[in-house]
Structure formats: structure tokens, C-alpha cells
Structure 1
């Protein structure tokens, strides 16, 4: 079989930058899936994309499916012949295979011998399969919003204008989205607008680059990064490259050219975050800072043209950004004319959730919980209550309504200006931490209390009205809220009882239609989220299940147990002790009555059971203080030394003695052994 390169390119009008990566990956995945399903051998599948094109290149694509052997099974041998002559069943089967009866074979199976036929079937040509594969791949694209154009009934994200499909140097004839395939593509809209006839599927990137198009999106992003860093160096500044902005800008250009501009220094009187948000959100500019991290009155824009007069392009961008920054300055000045706490009354007019009331209601509930938490973590109760009262006030400011991503940040600025306590001001920004699993947690005690209180209120409230998250829908981001609570408690080393906190948060709500079992439900939902955290920490699912089997309601305590069990599972003695715990668990589970922990030394007849009793008793004295202090790893290290007396006991002692008193005593000994390990986790689960 011969191999060659396949190139598919779909030419479109400018795609939404946020959809380019998704559509590009989906098209490549669809082509890859189609070729794999058809069993056509091929090499690497590469996805390319610009605002005006989606392309896929497949290396070393075979020109056909491989030949394969087809086996057909006919009637049973007993029914195929009678008196040595073929029956109608045999003749009919032979005709269906296009051969004579004498060319059929015998197939031996575990159910007997059958008449059969084998033939080698030639693989279908790849060029015959490609039209269907292309059509299916395009039909499956996750287009965010379809549109029609002209008189056509075809629908796509943007109007499509050309379709290329080359196998080597040959055009593969097909039709999709109302277009017939060809070899004609187009370069940069301004630098190379003429039609380009591709002669080969290979060398696509080089041909497009000659036409002022960087079709490889990763190459284009890195070109932008290099240019921004280089231009910043010329300006004696440091460029701040936001990766999400880099991706978005890359989706707006085919031939990036970085240009530096400036703005009036008077705008630097406005908080830097406001200016940066305006530059990023409105103009897609990269901002520059000095060595101390202070914003400089400079920006870098990415043009989609290599202008013969770049200064005019720069001046145009400077002219555009000026009113944007003026708007930001106006919003800031307007907001500063009122103290932040004057907006508390406005929160009563903003609905948090129809059944849970307004933001004012949420603030009132959160204040009680935050104050309680602050008291428990040696924070300032008054600060926590004040921070909760002000927490959502910046949501009704001009600046945050224009730039929602500045919530919390502006709260801090306005609180500082009003002369609020520095810790209260800091907490207003920290309330949204952590924003994602690996994000930092609040630094201040007031911030910790407020961040917890806000999330606990949301969790109990939304669960309480029955709006529980599902595997596919979580409109209130409850999963993120639960993970945030866990991260704060664990990373912040706050050994608080989550059940107690949830009970307090739930009690702040006036009426919840699903209040019954609410705390247990939210608690279990949160503790189930620890599994993902544990996985990120390199802790096995078995270790998680071992700890989860115990009634642990303090996430920090849960995490300490997890780390201890994970470390224990790697010890040489672990396997034997896990098996012993499993065995003990099974024995105790079969007893009709509960087995006590009280052992009568006088009923211990065998030396090995006496030795085990002494070991268990001695170890209990050592580990109980460690359990009380949460030093589980040290405790399990001590308990690991029980392996020898446990092994000796099971080797030489019959637990289920005929003597009821001795049997009960031995069961109590095993129960006391298991109880020691259960102080940490059900390590019997590790055997799974």
C-alpha cells in the first residue's frame, strides 16, 4: 500500500476567537475518528487554524484499507450433506458465496462442525472513503451558533468560501457545506488576497507563510509572545502576558505584528486593575509594568497587518484607548464620591436567588457565620462581621458593573479609601479565594472566615431549595464552592468541624423546603470532593475509601489521616496487617451480637494470644495520645509493629473455640486490635 499526506482546509469568514480552538480540535478529531473507524492506516493528525480557516493534515495516510479475510459460516455439516450428497442448504450457501460446494471448507467450533467459506476481501480506496468521513466530521462540529448567508440553506458558524481536500497532489472530489472540494486556497486578506493553487498536501504551512498566514496556531501564539517580550524590552519595561488573552489575540490575527503605544500618565491615578481590565477586555492590549510591578503608561497591541506606516496604526490605537481609560477613570471617580457602606441598602434590591432572598439577606446570614468562624480561628469577630456586611457592596458600583472581574478588588480599594480596617479591606478581595483548586487561599483570618461563610451559605441555601448539582449541570458552581471550603480548611490548617459549620449556616436560612437531612447531604457532597484533592496529592482511591469509611467530619483531620494511611500502605508490614484487618472484619461481621472490647487475661490460654493481648494493650497506651493530637502517621508506624504477634495468633490459635467463654474472649481481643486501627481508618479497605 502506498502512503501520502492528506490536507483538508475549510475557508471561512472570521470565526469567533473563542471558538477557533474548539472547532479546530473537533475537526481533527472527527477526521481521525473516521479514518480509525474505517481502519485506514495513517500517521500523525495535525490541527491548524486561523480566524479564516480550519485545516487538518494527516501524515502517511494509506491509499486504501488493508485487505482482510472474511469468514462466513453456513449450515451445520450434518444438515449440509445427506447420503454423501449436498443438500439444498449447502447448495444455497455455496451460491450465496459465489462458489461451488466443493470450494467450501469445514469450520470446527465448540458446538460442532459447520460448512464455511473464507475469502480475502480487498480494502476500499481511501479516496472513496474520505468524502463520507469529511461530511461526518463537519456535521459533528460543535458550532456555537449557526447562521445562513445569501440564498443558501447551508448553516455554519460563519459563511464558508472554499474547501480544499488534497491527497498528495490529487484533489479528492467531495462536497460539504454547499462547496465542492478543490485545491484553491487564499492567503492573508490584505497582503496576499489572490487565489493560491496548492500543488501538494505537503508543505502547507510553508506555502501559507509565504502568503502571510501563520496557520499553525501554536506557532502563531509563540510568535506573538516573542514579539510582545521583544517590544517590551525596547520600551525598557516588562510585559505581562495573560495566557487567555494570548489565545484570544491569536484567534484574531493571521500575521501578528506587535506595536507599542502609550496613554496619558494621569490615568495612573486610577487603580491599575481598572486600567488593565479596560485594556484587556475592550482592546485586547498587553499591559507593561516596571521592575517594581507598577503599571506603566504603555501597552502593546497586535496588528493583523505589517503596515508601511506603523506609527499611524499606533496613533489609531492610542486614540481608541483614550476614551476607554477615561470611562474607567470616570467610574472610579464616581464610585469614590460615596462610602462603600452607603451601598448596603442597595443590596436589598439585588436578588441573590429568588427563594433565598437578596444580597442583603445573604450578607446578614454570612455575617453570623463569619463571626462564629473568626472566634474559632482566633480572628477578630468584629472585623469578620463588618467584612461580611460590606462583602457584596462593590457589586453595585459603576466600576464592577462595567468590569465584573474586578469584584472584590474594587471592594478592597473603596474600603481602604473609606478608612476601613486594613484586614477588613483585604478580606473583601480575599473572599473569592480560592477561585480554582490550585489557587491561593485567603491570607488574613478575616478573609478566611468570610470566604468560608460565603460558600457555606451558598451550599446550604442552594441544596436547601432542591437545586442540587448533577453530573452535567452545576449552575451555582456548588462543586467549586465545596472544593473551596475544603482547600481553605486543609491548606489553612483550620481543624474545624464541617458538620458544625453547616448546621450553623443552615440555621441562618428562614425557610428551606428541603431542610430535612440537609446538613448530612451537603456534608457528604463536600467530603466526596476530597477524593479529587487526594488524587492530586498522589493518594490512592483505596486510601480515600479507608478514611471515608470512618465518621470523620473535620476536613483537615481527614487529610492528615489520608496522608498517614497512604504512607502506611507503602510499608512492608502493611499487606499482612491489611489482610488481618479484613479477616477480623469478616469474623466480627458474622457474629449475631455485638462483640465487646473487654479482654479477660485469665481466659487467654495460648502464649501467642497472651503476647498479642500484651502488644495491643501496650500499643494502645502509646498511640492514644497520638490520635488525640492528630499524629496519625506516627501512630500507624507504631501499630505496624503488631504484624508479628498478629501473624503468630492466626497461625496458632483457633478463634472460634468450642468453649463459648474462650471464643468470646478471643473475639474481644480481635475487636480491640481492629479498634486501634479504626481510630485512623478502616485499613481493611486497602485490600480492594
Structure 2
């Protein structure tokens, strides 16, 4: 028999940013608990609204299946004494099982006889197990800080007011977090404040819908998106709806009602990023842009109520946003009175890190490093230096002090206002790219150079003073910085050597630290991030390890090698050649002293070794130019032709011959062969 289960935890308003995460964790915990007890549901439906977390579990077995409990005891040889009476070990085993010795059984195995205890355990009713499963799931929720309420000792993220727990149409009687279960939930706080008696789990969402609550998170999210898009179209624009904001708004309302508002057009003179930021972060509004991407003097907010006078809601929200926009307007006006250049002195009072000095000192180091990188890339050194020197000056402006997320963006605006070169202004913003996984990369040469120089100085400096990230602690964002460096070098096709870049960064830090910091740890740390980088692309760890074992330090070159090995892996010859490489590696490891390299044609006695030597010579002539050009994939595809002569060689030739000269000649041949593959990767890892 099967039945449906429903649990709803009714609370005060839950944290909107955490609502989806709490719902997912609550649902996963219950599903795991039922699965562990052999009571998996056929379907699972999760619900999450500001005042509730709920789960409907469809077609759950009414009862656990009966189980045979079996415990193995001591061997028969140790179970009886010389007189044939039960030994202490046997009696102790019986006591631990809660039975008399006579209730134990004996079994014969290929390793002898043993005492065994068998017992049939009748499966428990699902309704008896369900409350404990729910309680365990609640206790495991990712809640940083729990709160108490009233005079009780129960703790949760918000005070709990009711708990619904049903099995089909019957209440599962229990007490969870000091609240007795029942069937009564609550509708919308204003539209339907009276209790709502849930008849069955299948009726839950429908009954709440009648009470002005859209219980399912995804349905409410889709509803908000559709309604906001429709209203934006009516206003002649497009709503900016980042996923984070959409999720947060979904977590704020039970019955979403989009409402349009306006603001004075004079505020459009302020950089639109500042206006959008305050609308999204402070007010949870959706900003609107026109077809050209320019901000419109409109916004859309999502109310949690159907008002008889929508104008009141609109006017109220307009009244709230006006002083915030006035502040942004004031900051913009005041900041423009002072150039970025004139703010450099203020950076001398801002400490980047105690041992690494101020932001001013960091900007000077970054300028030197940026000039080196620009020179190596054939770009304008003067632009790179200027961008580095001004790069952090917007941090001391009023606008960035108020809206920290606009660092770089405001730098671009102020640099343009000051008449700086267009590429310098763009670099102000692009130095922070990529900000997160999947973010866009700098589009200008100076922006790329500054983004690299900033991150490399930070990585070298922090590792140089021994403050590398530990566990989850990464206060300087070194993981993100390392991935940013790799993405810029690889995806923008910059053939720069990471070891050399870090060495130049270390030169700049030497006066500050009193000695040149070692860069090996920083280098290893950055290259280690390649594993995660390629994992996101679906490239296996063994392919990355095959390349990493050769320790190439140019990320773009590393990438070409990995892609070449990935293509080689698809060939039918790859398995055989990888195994041969491993076999060759094992043979060469046993050689004492230096490996022989010179092949004497006169000592190639067997047809198989002659054929392999000829094939190796042919491939050397063909692939060495390909290696030099970085065409690793073409080289490996050519080397795949060695499969047959390699297989024939190992079938017919004894490498470790008694004749020393013959043996060394064959070792030299294998050494030359393996050396060809090692120009790309260590295929033996595969």
C-alpha cells in the first residue's frame, strides 16, 4: 500500500535570500531520511514561500518491509570449552544480542563454522518514522545563527507558529520544536488571514492558492518574471532581472503584484550603474532600459498585496527612492570636482596589507609590473603605467564609498570626465574582470595588462608573507585571482610565461619586503587551479595530470597540450600507446645512471626494432617542427601512427638483453620514443 505525506513548517517571514537554499536542503533531508529507511517516494514536490517550507511526498510505502537482522558471532572453535559448554565469548555474544545461548544458530562456511544470530525485524509504520525524519532534516538545515522565541527552548531560523503533517487525509500526531502538528495552515497575511484546513497533500497548493499564496517557489518566480516583463513592455522598455534579485523578490512575496513607478529624469545624468545599484540592492526594484540599453526613468516593484489603490503603492515607492537618488546625484556632482590624479595622495593613508604597504605603494608596484607586461606584449607602456597609477583612486570617492560594488565602474566615469585616454578609462573597470566564474574578460590591451598586474602583485605578495589561503578562509580572494589570471592568459590567447610574470612581480616587492620573495608556492597554487578550470569544461583530471607532470608554466601552452591530449584520447591507438608509455617509463626507471640516447643502427638486429627506429626517426623529422609551433594536437595525431611498430617491438624484442651494448641500444631507442611523447604530456598517466 502507498500513501501521500505532507509536511509544512509555518514561520515568521524567512530570510528571502536564503529561502530557496533552505527549501532545497529541507527537501533533500527528508528525501534522504525516507530513502535510508526504505521508504522512497515516487514523486517529491517542494514548496517555499516567505512564511512556510513544505514538502509533498507522493506514493510513499505505508510501512517498511520486514528485515532479517543477522549478526555473526565467534567461530565454533572458540564458542565451546573442553567440556562442550558455551564459552564466555559465546555467552557474551548471546547477551549482546539480547537472547539466550540456545537461541543462537550455527552456520558452515568455507572458513569453518560460526555462531550466528538471526532475527526478523517487522517494518515500522511510515507515520511513526516520519516525524523524526522531519526533525532531523530541520536540525541539519544550513542556518548560521538560530533564534529562540517565547519561553521555550526550541531554536530555528525564525519563530515557528504551526506545523502541518498529514498522511493522506489524516493528521500525523507529533510534536516538533515544541509545536504540535495539525492540518491548519495560514493563507495570505492580509487577503486570507484565517486558518486553512488542508484536506489532503494533493490539495495543499490549490487550497493555498485560493488563500492568495503561491506556494511553489518556481511557480512564483515564473509568475514574477512574466508579469514584470509584460509591464515593462507596456512601459516601452526591458526589465533588468538578474537571477539573484529575482530569487530574492520571490522570497519576499506570497502573492506577487508588479507595480510601476517613475523618477525625475534629471537623475538620469547620474551614471546609470549607480541608480541601478541602489534600485536593486536597497529597494529590490527592477530597473528598465530602452532598446539602446539606456536607463529609463521607470522602475517596477513587486507588491505582496492586491491594492484597491495601486497609485498609493507607486507613490510610496517613488517617495522612498527619491532621497537615495538625490544622494547619488550629490556624490556624482561632488566627486567630479576633484580629478583621479589629485586623489593619489589619499591612497597613502589606505593600507592594503600591513607588510605589503599602502594602496599607493601597491599602485606603484603594479605600474612597474604593468609596464613590463606591456613591453613584452608590444603594447603601450605609458598607458599601462597611467592606468595602474590611477586604478585605485576611485576607492576614495564618495560614490564608491557609498556603493562599493561600483569600484572600477566609477573609475571609468571619472577618468573619462578627467579627459584620460579612452583605454585608460576602460582599464579602470576592466582591472576587476573577471569578477566571478563565467564573467566577461577585459576587452582592451591595457585592461588585460592591468587585470594581470593587479592579481599577480597580490598573489606574489600574500604568498611572499606566508598568508596563503587555508580551508575556507581566503580574505584576499586569491582563488578568484588565480582563476582570473588563468582565464585571461588562456582565453585571450596571451603567450606569457607565468613563472616569469611572478618573478617580475617579486622584483617589485623586494624593496617593500627587504628581500625577494620566493614565487614557487604562488606558481604551484595558480597552476593547481587548472584542475577546477578544466573540470568545469568536462575535461578529466587525468588529462590535466598528464600535462601538469611536465610542469609547463605558460597557461596558454598548457591549454593547447590538454586539448591535444583530449583529442588524442579519442583515438583507438591512444590506449595502446598510453600503456606502452607506462611500460617504457617503468623500464627506464630501473636504469642506473644516465639514460642512453644515441642509437647505433648496426646494433638493430631484429626486424621489429629496425622498424621502430625507422618510424621514430620519421616522426622526429615530422613532429619536432609541430612542437616548436605549439601544434600539439597535430603532433600527437601523427605520433599515433607509432602504435603498430611499438606493439610489434614489445611482442618481438627483449629490451633487457644480456649483451650490454644491445641492451643500451634498445634503451636508447625507447628513450627517444618516449621523449617524443613527453614533448606534449606524460601519457603513462592515462
- Asked if 2 retains the 8 angstrom alpha-carbon contact of 1:168 and 1:200, the reply is yes
Secondary structure of the corresponding residue to residue 371 of structure 2: helix
Structure 2 match to 1:489: 489
- Asked if 2 retains the 8 angstrom alpha-carbon contact of 1:464 and 1:515, the reply is no
TM-aligned CA deviation for residue 76 of structure 1 = 6.0
Structure 1 match to 2:673: 673
User: In the TM superposition, what are the counterparts of 1:72-91 in structure 2 within 5 Å?
Assistant: none
The answer as to 2:51 corresponding to 1:52 is yes
The answer as to 2:221 corresponding to 1:221 is yes
Secondary structure of the corresponding residue to residue 452 of structure 1: helix
- Cα RMSD after superposing both structures: 2.5
Structure 2 match to 1:34: 33
How far apart, in 2, do the equivalents of 1:587 and 1:114 lie? Answer: 48
How far apart, in 1, do the equivalents of 2:423 and 2:52 lie? Answer: 51
**Range 69-78 or range 430-439, more displaced:** 69-78
Secondary structure of the corresponding residue to residue 136 of structure 1: helix
How far apart, in 1, do the equivalents of 2:86 and 2:293 lie? Answer: 92
How far apart, in 1, do the equivalents of 2:656 and 2:289 lie? Answer: 77
**Range 252-261 or range 157-166, more displaced:** 157-166
User: In the TM superposition, what are the counterparts of 1:308-347 in structure 2 within 5 Å?
Assistant: 308-347=308-347
TM-aligned CA deviation for residue 99 of structure 1 = 8.9
TM-aligned CA deviation for residue 600 of structure 1 = 2.1
- Asked if 1 retains the 8 angstrom alpha-carbon contact of 2:509 and 2:517, the reply is no
The answer as to 2:348 corresponding to 1:367 is no
- Asked if 1 retains the 8 angstrom alpha-carbon contact of 2:45 and 2:57, the reply is yes
How far apart, in 2, do the equivalents of 1:464 and 1:92 lie? Answer: 61
How far apart, in 2, do the equivalents of 1:372 and 1:575 lie? Answer: 44
Gaps spanning 5+ residues in structure 1: where? none
How far apart, in 2, do the equivalents of 1:570 and 1:75 lie? Answer: 53
User: In the TM superposition, what are the counterparts of 1:450-529 in structure 2 within 5 Å?
Assistant: 450-510=450-510, 518-529=518-529
Structure 2 match to 1:661: 661
TM-aligned CA deviation for residue 119 of structure 1 = 4.0
- Asked if 2 retains the 8 angstrom alpha-carbon contact of 1:461 and 1:512, the reply is no
How far apart, in 1, do the equivalents of 2:326 and 2:581 lie? Answer: 71
Structure 1 match to 2:252: 252
The answer as to 2:31 corresponding to 1:19 is no
Structure 1 match to 2:170: 170
Question: Judging changes above 3 Å, is the alpha-carbon distance between structure 1 residues 625 and 514 closer, same or farther for their aligned structure 2 residues?
Answer: farther
- Asked if 2 retains the 8 angstrom alpha-carbon contact of 1:272 and 1:295, the reply is yes
TM-aligned CA deviation for residue 388 of structure 1 = 0.6
Question: Judging changes above 3 Å, is the alpha-carbon distance between structure 1 residues 100 and 549 closer, same or farther for their aligned structure 2 residues?
Answer: closer
How far apart, in 1, do the equivalents of 2:70 and 2:204 lie? Answer: 43
Could you report, residue by residue, the CA deviation over 1:423-479 in whole angstroms, capped at 9, with x for unpaired residues? Answer: 000111111111223222111110110000001011111111212123432222211
TM-aligned CA deviation for residue 623 of structure 1 = 1.6
Structure 2 match to 1:593: 593
Question: Judging changes above 3 Å, is the alpha-carbon distance between structure 1 residues 99 and 150 closer, same or farther for their aligned structure 2 residues?
Answer: closer
Could you report, residue by residue, the CA deviation over 1:556-577 in whole angstroms, capped at 9, with x for unpaired residues? Answer: 0000111111111211222222
Question: Judging changes above 3 Å, is the alpha-carbon distance between structure 1 residues 662 and 28 closer, same or farther for their aligned structure 2 residues?
Answer: same
Secondary structure of the corresponding residue to residue 181 of structure 1: strand
TM-aligned CA deviation for residue 327 of structure 1 = 1.2
TM-score (norm. length: structure 1):
0.94
Question: Judging changes above 3 Å, is the alpha-carbon distance between structure 1 residues 585 and 512 closer, same or farther for their aligned structure 2 residues?
Answer: farther
**Range 312-321 or range 44-53, more displaced:** 44-53
- Asked if 2 retains the 8 angstrom alpha-carbon contact of 1:412 and 1:428, the reply is yes
Secondary structure of the corresponding residue to residue 538 of structure 1: coil
Secondary structure of the corresponding residue to residue 156 of structure 2: coil
How far apart, in 2, do the equivalents of 1:551 and 1:145 lie? Answer: 45
How far apart, in 1, do the equivalents of 2:610 and 2:655 lie? Answer: 13
Number of residue equivalences: 684
How far apart, in 2, do the equivalents of 1:246 and 1:109 lie? Answer: 63
Question: Judging changes above 3 Å, is the alpha-carbon distance between structure 1 residues 634 and 115 closer, same or farther for their aligned structure 2 residues?
Answer: closer
- Asked if 2 retains the 8 angstrom alpha-carbon contact of 1:73 and 1:107, the reply is no
Structure 1 match to 2:557: 557
Question: Judging changes above 3 Å, is the alpha-carbon distance between structure 1 residues 672 and 514 closer, same or farther for their aligned structure 2 residues?
Answer: farther
User: In the TM superposition, what are the counterparts of 1:3-402 in structure 2 within 5 Å?
Assistant: 3-71=2-70, 105-114=105-114, 116=116, 118-402=118-402
**Range 615-624 or range 328-337, more displaced:** 615-624
TM-aligned CA deviation for residue 663 of structure 1 = 1.8
Could you report, residue by residue, the CA deviation over 1:73-100 in whole angstroms, capped at 9, with x for unpaired residues? Answer: 5676678899999979999999977799
- Asked if 1 retains the 8 angstrom alpha-carbon contact of 2:78 and 2:87, the reply is no
TM-aligned CA deviation for residue 346 of structure 1 = 0.8
Question: Judging changes above 3 Å, is the alpha-carbon distance between structure 1 residues 648 and 267 closer, same or farther for their aligned structure 2 residues?
Answer: same
Could you report, residue by residue, the CA deviation over 1:582-628 in whole angstroms, capped at 9, with x for unpaired residues? Answer: 22211111011111322222332334323322322232122222111
How far apart, in 1, do the equivalents of 2:323 and 2:25 lie? Answer: 39
**Range 109-118 or range 511-520, more displaced:** 511-520
Structure 2 match to 1:638: 638
**Range 412-421 or range 76-85, more displaced:** 76-85
Question: Judging changes above 3 Å, is the alpha-carbon distance between structure 1 residues 302 and 77 closer, same or farther for their aligned structure 2 residues?
Answer: same
Question: Judging changes above 3 Å, is the alpha-carbon distance between structure 1 residues 660 and 262 closer, same or farther for their aligned structure 2 residues?
Answer: same
How far apart, in 2, do the equivalents of 1:99 and 1:660 lie? Answer: 74
Gaps spanning 5+ residues in structure 2: where? none
Secondary structure of the corresponding residue to residue 558 of structure 2: helix
**Range 612-621 or range 324-333, more displaced:** 612-621
TM-aligned CA deviation for residue 24 of structure 1 = 1.7
How far apart, in 1, do the equivalents of 2:47 and 2:561 lie? Answer: 48
**Range 518-527 or range 213-222, more displaced:** 518-527
TM-score (norm. length: structure 2):
0.94
**Range 382-391 or range 511-520, more displaced:** 511-520
Secondary structure of the corresponding residue to residue 155 of structure 2: coil
- Asked if 2 retains the 8 angstrom alpha-carbon contact of 1:19 and 1:144, the reply is no
TM-aligned CA deviation for residue 487 of structure 1 = 0.5
Secondary structure of the corresponding residue to residue 594 of structure 2: coil
- Asked if 2 retains the 8 angstrom alpha-carbon contact of 1:608 and 1:649, the reply is yes
TM-aligned CA deviation for residue 420 of structure 1 = 0.2
Question: Judging changes above 3 Å, is the alpha-carbon distance between structure 1 residues 100 and 680 closer, same or farther for their aligned structure 2 residues?
Answer: closer
- Asked if 2 retains the 8 angstrom alpha-carbon contact of 1:97 and 1:117, the reply is no
**Range 247-256 or range 170-179, more displaced:** 170-179
